[in-house]
Amino acid sequence: MADQNTLSRRGLFMKMGILFNGLVATALAVPIVGFLLSSITRGRANAYLSWVPLGPIKDFPEGETRLATFTNPYVTPTDGKTVDTACWVRRVEGEQFQVFAINCAHLGCPVRWFPQSGLFMCPCHGGAYYRDGSRASGPPERGLFEYPYKVQDGMVTIQAGELPTPGSLTASLFGNKPPCGARNELVSIESKLSACSKTNALLRKTKTWA
Amino acid sequence: MGVIGQIGQWFDQRLQLAAPIRDAAEHPVPRNTASWFYVFGSAALTVFLLQLVTGILLALIYVPSASEAWSSLQALNHDVTLGWFIRAMHGWGSNFMVAIVLIHMVQVFLFGAYKFPRELTWIVGVFLLLMTLGMAFSGQVLRFDQDAYWGLGIGASIASRVPIAGPIIVKLMLGGPIIAGATLSRFFALHVFVIPGMLIGFVCLHLLMVLKLGINEWPMPGRLVKRATYENEYHQLTRKDGAPFVPYAVWKDLFFAAFILLAVAACALYFGPFGPTGRPDPTIIQTAPKPDYFFLWLYGLLSYLPPSMETPALLIGPVVVIAFLVLLPFLSGEGEKSWRRRPIAVLTVLLIAIILGTLTHLAGYTPWSPHMNAWSGDPVPDKFLHGSTALQRQGALVFQGKQCRNCHSIGESGGQRGPALDSVAVRLTQDQLIRQVIQGGGNMPAYGKNLSPAETTALVAFLETLHPAGQTPARDAALGEAQEKSASAQ
């Protein structure tokens, strides 16, 4: 028997065994955690948030709000219909548009447009918005989320790719109280980079995750 | 010794399990715990086992892919022999499990069973409740239909409100930037592997502690729990007034377990499976998503919280509730057990039950949501138009056409978002009506930009006719009667 202060041969081997297992576990944890966090770190920043066409400009009469659908730019083989997304396109005049996310700014339910009363209404908790997307009544704290848009070769295109939620990048760009810049000015996320320091910081954060 | 006995002995010589199992089965329990109040724990375990079996059966057919899940559920409902019944059993089993776990928890709370030395049994039980709710929510996601899709959207919207980490949590929850294939796959993994695995482990711990510490004795008013003496008292109680669990108390558990299984089967047979509702296609927006029964209260709460309180309540509320439940045995680990001498405990349970019950009831008919089709589906009842002028009838048309009906009922049909307008002329004068319509306010949108002056005049003329017979409409006291007449004539 070894006395209390000395380490026996077996005891040393056991400690080395534990240490060895600890090292292997740490090494294995790197790919495991990397895999688990891949939905955050996935290097597909270019696909996620890119320009997608909604349709030719003539499909959207001036002064009206129409439903448009687009396929999310980021698709995997098992997505099925879930990548098809709807949005409300309001053509203010000429090439001036507002493209609203279908998701209510409260909790994301699909809002419906009522042209007669000029309101968007949400079926879940009764949120309502005016035709320009600003909050009219109900539980939402802000106006509808808006996608950045541009008109290119006669096609209306928007920058989309993520589920618009109160904390998302899409939500921070536009809406009832734009964080910076005028709402109707033609903007993209890149051009916002120089114009707005708050969004800039947010974008930089997203880029480091991407 | 017969052949069966010999085979049994052969196994037991190797397994050595007969003696510990007999000890566990025959451990003495206080006689007064052989009560119908003590059957809910074993009933919860029974339903959990039913969920394991029916869940495995469903997994034989179900395809956890966003493109095929919905069709495989349709196949289960319509093509596979008795697939509908297994789905119905699993769905009703889920509702029964949440209900029984809640009843078990209330019983344990009111009987003071969480006090010394059973604090950890209670804490493990709190986690079992959370896991049961997690199973209920993730199960609703696997029923991949419109409700599941938009329900995930609601979950993501809540998660995204977490300061700073919100967007990361959303991506982790959805498995990507949108609700899609990866989302369903990870909820499948949670529902089928992760949470059930943890549930099994925690159930074993929970049961082990019940066996080691003994079932909570029937609480007697005035018999106080003291750390120093309780264990001794309990052992004396079981020695003097004890009886073996099997068969003295177990028969009630057996009867109730069988009764619950029958009840689940009866509900499954009579009501059938839940959904799936429409295909999970986000371009179909004519949908009013609703959560399953046990989350309806939350759905109701979310429409009543003032906007400014919502985010803090959503993020801090659950933390406070869980922390309180976990800390409960440390806050009152000793003292009175009987609910007869714990009025605050009884009132707390009643208050929570009334709040949850009321919110669930309200969420059943969602008075806060506009009725999307009232303007085209519910005409103005005849009686409101008898003897009305052309202008007033024009106003009734505006009232329908501008979707006022979606939020305001008249003649008991229409939305309930805003007040019923059957007697609005008694409450508001002509000027107040015009102001309310044009400027909105008090949760009503402003219609100034969507009504021409002629439409507003007609609408208000119609609204002024809405008062009970024999009751005069409201009028502005500041105006003389003659002035008012000339004003309304204009």
CATH code for B374-489?
1.10.760.10
Answer whether B369 sits within 8 Å of A123, measured CB to CB: yes
Asked, colleague to colleague, whether B24-365 and B374-489 share their fold, the answer is: no
Check pLDDT > 60 for residue A117: yes
Instruction: Specify whether A103 is located in the same domain as A158.
Output: yes
Instruction: Specify whether A74 is located in the same domain as A27.
Output: no
Residues of B in contact with A136 (CB under 8 A): 440, 445-446
pLDDT of residue B88: 97
A1 belongs to a structural domain: no
Residues of A in contact with B436 (CB under 8 A): none
Instruction: Specify whether A125 is located in the same domain as A24.
Output: no
H-helix segments, B371-480:
374-377, 390-401, 424-427, 430-439, 453-463
pLDDT of residue A202: 44
pLDDT of residue B482: 58
A42 belongs to a structural domain: no
- Report which residue type is found at A5: N
Q: Mutation test of the interface with chain B: which of A40, A64, A69, A78, choosing the one with the most B Cβ atoms within 10 A?
A: A78
Answer whether B283 sits within 8 Å of A124, measured CB to CB: no
pLDDT of residue A10: 92
A146 belongs to a structural domain: yes
Instruction: Specify whether A105 is located in the same domain as A57.
Output: yes
Answer whether A121 sits within 8 Å of B302, measured CB to CB: no
Angle at B386 between CA B381 and CA B390, to 5 degrees: 105
pLDDT digits (tens, 9 = 90+) for A126-143: 889 999 999 888 888 889
pLDDT of residue B480: 63
Instruction: Specify whether A90 is located in the same domain as A162.
Output: yes
The radius of gyration of chain B from alpha carbons, rounded to an integer in Å, stands at 30
Domain of A160, CATH number, reads: 2.102.10.10
What's the whole-number average pLDDT of chain A?
A: 81
Instruction: Specify whether A56 is located in the same domain as A15.
Output: no
Instruction: Report whether B70 contacts B280 (CB < 8 A).
Output: yes
Q: Mutation test of the interface with chain A: which of B144, B171, B397, choosing the one with the most A Cβ atoms within 10 A?
A: B171
Instruction: Specify whether A16 is located in the same domain as A118.
Output: no
Check pLDDT > 60 for residue A101: yes
Instruction: Specify whether A102 is located in the same domain as A124.
Output: yes
Does B452 lie at the interface with A, CB-CB under 8 angstroms? no
A44 belongs to a structural domain: no
Instruction: Specify whether A28 is located in the same domain as A62.
Output: no
**Full domain range(s) for residue A27:** 9-36
Angle at B433 between CA B432 and CA B434, to 5 degrees: 90
Q: How far is A198 from chain B (nearest CA, A)?
A: 13
pLDDT of residue B488: 55
- Report which residue type is found at B208: L
Instruction: Specify whether A102 is located in the same domain as A179.
Output: yes
Q: Average pLDDT of A8-35?
A: 95
Does A2 lie at the interface with B, CB-CB under 8 angstroms? no
pLDDT of residue A39: 85
**Residue in B161, B311, B443 closest to A137 by CB:** B443
Answer whether A86 sits within 8 Å of B446, measured CB to CB: no
Q: How far is A3 from chain B (nearest CA, A)?
A: 38
- State the Cα–Cα distance between residues B362 and B359, nearest whole angstrom: 5
Answer whether A109 sits within 8 Å of B450, measured CB to CB: no
B-contacting residues in A 165-204 (Cβ below 8 Å): 165-169
A22 belongs to a structural domain: yes
The better pLDDT of the pair A207, B282 is held by B282
Architecture of the CATH domain B24-365: Up-down Bundle (1.20)
H-helix segments, B143-249:
146-159, 166-174, 181-189, 195-213, 230-241, 245-248
Answer whether B177 sits within 8 Å of A165, measured CB to CB: no
Number of domains in chain A: 2
Residues of B in contact with A141 (CB under 8 A): 307-308, 310-311
Check pLDDT > 70 for residue A185: no
pLDDT of residue B370: 85
Counting residues of chain A whose pLDDT is more than 70, the rounded percentage is 78
Instruction: Specify whether A98 is located in the same domain as A197.
Output: yes
Instruction: Specify whether A64 is located in the same domain as A25.
Output: no
Residue B444 forms beta bridges with which residues? B441
Residues of A in contact with B362 (CB under 8 A): none
Task: Break chain B into its structural domains and give their ranges.
Answer: 24-365, 374-489
What's the whole-number average pLDDT of chain B?
A: 92
How is residue B409 written in tokens? Answer: 């009922």
Answer whether B450 sits within 8 Å of A124, measured CB to CB: no
Q: Which residues of chain B have pLDDT under 50?
A: 490
pLDDT digits (tens, 9 = 90+) for B88-145: 999 999 999 999 999 999 999 999 999 999 999 999 999 999 999 999 999 999 999 9
A2 belongs to a structural domain: no
Q: How far is B160 from chain A (nearest CA, A)?
A: 5
Residue A53 forms beta bridges with which residues? A157
ipTM of the complex in this document:
0.85
